[in-house]
């Protein structure tokens, strides 16, 4: 189970907020900052350092450069979407306590348009120089497309072989940040690495068939900010953070 998220927790008894205030870094209450307002898109609350791109709201002048979120409509529902390194990701959840965000690649996610029969990861995750890092919950999956052979630890993804003449495609979990085996010998046409939540690999152990579920559930990033960031942004009239 995914137990780090706020929405899974039962309502807090009255004394607990005091516990959190002392145990966690102080969280700015965005509702008290007029330049750091919070918004809702679908089920997701969006507040500083994130901001809504599609609102023409003159009050909203705070937020990190690159942390703008679009609220897109799909079949009558709204989904928050963020762009990282020219690729778009659905935002499943933003946890201000852990400063973590759960994202899934729109190319392989059923979150918006619906189920995807045969997901093909088309690009890696490029965090550029944004103040983001991969959380400890992730593992990396490495994909190799149209190969003429494979090492024994890789799992074939049969649905990606559209024609008999085409090479086969494979996926494997990476146990370090570099590829342990030299894939050059297998002449793959393309290779991509993405992140998923490690727990979901165990929940859906049949990689060749349950890849869609694993990818759909996404990966987690954490962001860095100073505790008094929002307040500083307010005091500056909202100009600091947008310009970094």
Could you list the residues that contact ligand NAG (CB under 6 A)? 6-7, 45, 87-88, 106-107, 122, 133-136, 138-140, 174, 177, 195, 222, 224
Contact between 101 and 220 under an 8 Å Cβ cutoff? The reply is yes
Q: How far is the CB of 124 from ligand NAG (least distance, A)?
A: 7
Here the tokens at position 6 are 């706020």
Cα angle 53, 42, 66; round to 5? 30
Tell me, what DSSP letter sits at residue 98? T
Q: How far is the CB of 149 from ligand NAG (least distance, A)?
A: 25
**Closest-CA residue to 230 (of 60, 94, 22, 48):** 48
- Of the pair 141, 233, the CB lying nearest ligand NAG is at 141
> Cα(first)–Cα(last) distance of the chain, in Å?
37
Residue 93, phi then psi, degrees to nearest 5: -165, 145
- Of the pair 126, 148, the CB lying nearest ligand NAG is at 126
Using the structure block, give the residue that is written with the tokens 């390194």.
85
- Of the pair 239, 244, the CB lying nearest ligand NAG is at 244
- Of the pair 15, 178, the CB lying nearest ligand NAG is at 178
- Of the pair 88, 236, the CB lying nearest ligand NAG is at 88
What distance in Å separates the CA atoms of residue 120 and residue 133, rounded to the nearest whole number? 24
Q: How far is the CB of 140 from ligand NAG (least distance, A)?
A: 4
Q: How far is the CB of 222 from ligand NAG (least distance, A)?
A: 4
Q: How far is the CB of 77 from ligand NAG (least distance, A)?
A: 16
């Amino acid at each position: 189970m995914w137990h780090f998220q706020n929405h899974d927790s039962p309502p807090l008894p009255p004394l607990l907020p005091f516990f959190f205030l002392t145990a966690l870094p102080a969280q700015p209450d965005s509702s008290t900052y007029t330049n750091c307002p919070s918004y809702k898109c679908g089920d997701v609350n969006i507040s500083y350092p994130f901001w809504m791109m599609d609102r023409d709201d003159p009050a909203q002048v705070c937020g990190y450069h690159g942390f703008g979120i679009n609220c897109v409509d799909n079949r009558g529902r709204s989904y928050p979407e963020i762009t990282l390194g020219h690729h778009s990701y659905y935002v499943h959840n933003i946890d201000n306590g852990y400063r973590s965000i759960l994202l899934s690649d729109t190319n392989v996610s059923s979150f918006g348009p619906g189920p995807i029969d045969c997901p093909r990861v088309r690009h890696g995750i490029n965090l550029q120089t944004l103040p983001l890092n991969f959380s400890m919950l992730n593992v990396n999956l490495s994909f190799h497309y149209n190969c003429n052979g494979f090492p024994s630890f890789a799992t074939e993804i049969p649905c990606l072989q559209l024609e008999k003449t085409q090479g086969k495609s494979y996926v494997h979990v990476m146990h370090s940040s570099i590829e342990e085996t030299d894939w050059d010998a297998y002449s793959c046409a393309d290779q991509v690495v993405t992140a998923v939540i490690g727990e979901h690999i165990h929940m859906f152990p049949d990689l060749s068939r349950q890849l869609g579920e694993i990818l759909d559930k996404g990966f987690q990033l954490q962001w860095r900010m100073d505790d008094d960031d929002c307040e500083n942004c307010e005091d500056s009239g909202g100009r600091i953070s947008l310009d970094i």
